[in-house]
């Protein structure tokens, strides 16, 4: 359900446009996937517009129908009532993540490429691109994508973990250590960040996360 929870804050509609029914629909999916999906289907059949279709796409993904949800998200992005170009870009980025979760990296690549066509300057899109590149072990492009997002003031624990993994994969243990601290500074109990911390320390870098700004880049071997 992590993907769905992210959508609650990431969906492109402005609060004034996100109806109470839309928010209730998402919350119902989070509470009971099957019941929420049936409710979304009914709403969509009633002509609920982009809101209803988006909720249904989220229900599809939450119910394990990732490919269906991804395709539906792309269809929403083509609707006249979808929103502006940034909205459409975010919808394609969401589709890319859904394709990726469904192990369809080629479709994910195509979706994020389309997202960039709509909003080439949107830093947030680079975090999705980084996930796709990581799935293909394209470590240098992962680093570049997360760094571009960071330069646009779009930082996240997941992004730093991705870049840390990439840096560790190419032998940049000190850079990976910095990203561990970055990630844990945002989410101190993030399991993936803690796991990465252990991997980096086993590679020979001692990390003092209590510093919260920079790690202690010692050379002590574990």
**Are 107 and 128 members of one domain?**
no
Q: For position 216, what pLDDT does the model report?
A: 44
Q: For position 211, what pLDDT does the model report?
A: 46
**Are 117 and 129 members of one domain?**
no
Q: For position 38, what pLDDT does the model report?
A: 97
| Structural domain count, the chain | 2
Q: Quick check: 116 and 125 in contact, CB under 8 A?
A: yes
Q: For position 19, what pLDDT does the model report?
A: 76
- Which of these three, 122, 146, 166, is where a domain ends? 122
Structural domain harbouring 156: 124-222
- Which of these three, 122, 139, 158, is where a domain ends? 122
**Are 11 and 69 members of one domain?**
yes
**Are 161 and 96 members of one domain?**
no
**Are 16 and 63 members of one domain?**
yes
**Are 115 and 140 members of one domain?**
no
- Which of these three, 99, 122, 145, is where a domain ends? 122
Q: Quick check: 125 and 119 in contact, CB under 8 A?
A: yes
Nearest-10 crossing angle of helices 49-62, 85-101: 20
**Are 80 and 136 members of one domain?**
no
Q: Any idea what the CATH number is for the domain that residue 221 is in?
A: 1.25.40.10
**Are 93 and 142 members of one domain?**
no
Q: Any idea what the CATH number is for the domain that residue 86 is in?
A: 1.25.40
**Are 43 and 69 members of one domain?**
yes
**Are 102 and 6 members of one domain?**
yes
**Are 115 and 189 members of one domain?**
no
Instruction: List CB contacts of 23: < 8 A, sequence separation 6 or more.
Output: none
Counting as low any pLDDT under 50, the low residues of the chain are 1-3, 5-6, 8-16, 211-222
122: which DSSP letter? -
Q: Is the torsion defined by CA of 86, 89, 93, 94 positive or negative? A: positive
Q: For position 217, what pLDDT does the model report?
A: 43
Q: What is the pTM of this model?
A: 0.84
**Are 104 and 169 members of one domain?**
no
210: which DSSP letter? G
């Amino acid at each position: 359900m992590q993907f769905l929870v992210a959508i609650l804050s990431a969906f492109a509609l402005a609060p004034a446009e996100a109806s109470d029914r839309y928010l209730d629909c998402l919350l119902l999916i989070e509470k009971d996937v099957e019941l929420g999906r049936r409710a979304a289907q009914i709403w969509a059949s009633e002509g609920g517009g982009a809101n209803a279709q988006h909720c249904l796409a989220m229900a599809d993904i939450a119910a394990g129908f990732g490919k269906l949800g991804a395709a539906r998200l792309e269809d929403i992005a083509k609707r006249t009532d979808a929103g502006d170009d940034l909205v459409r870009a975010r919808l394609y980025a969401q589709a890319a993540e859904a394709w990726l979760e469904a192990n369809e990296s080629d479709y994910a690549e195509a979706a994020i490429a389309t997202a960039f066509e709509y909003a080439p300057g949107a830093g947030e899109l680079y975090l999705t691109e980084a996930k796709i590149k990581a799935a293909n072990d394209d470590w240098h492009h992962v680093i570049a994508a997360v760094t571009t997002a960071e330069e646009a003031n779009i930082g996240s624990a997941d992004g730093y973990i991705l870049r840390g993994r990439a840096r560790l994969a190419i032998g940049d243990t000190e850079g990976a250590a910095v990203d561990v601290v970055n990630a844990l500074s945002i989410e101190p109990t993030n399991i993936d960040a803690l796991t990465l911390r252990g991997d980096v320390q086993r590679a020979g870098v001692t990390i003092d996360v209590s510093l919260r700004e920079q790690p202690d880049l010692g050379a002590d071997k574990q």
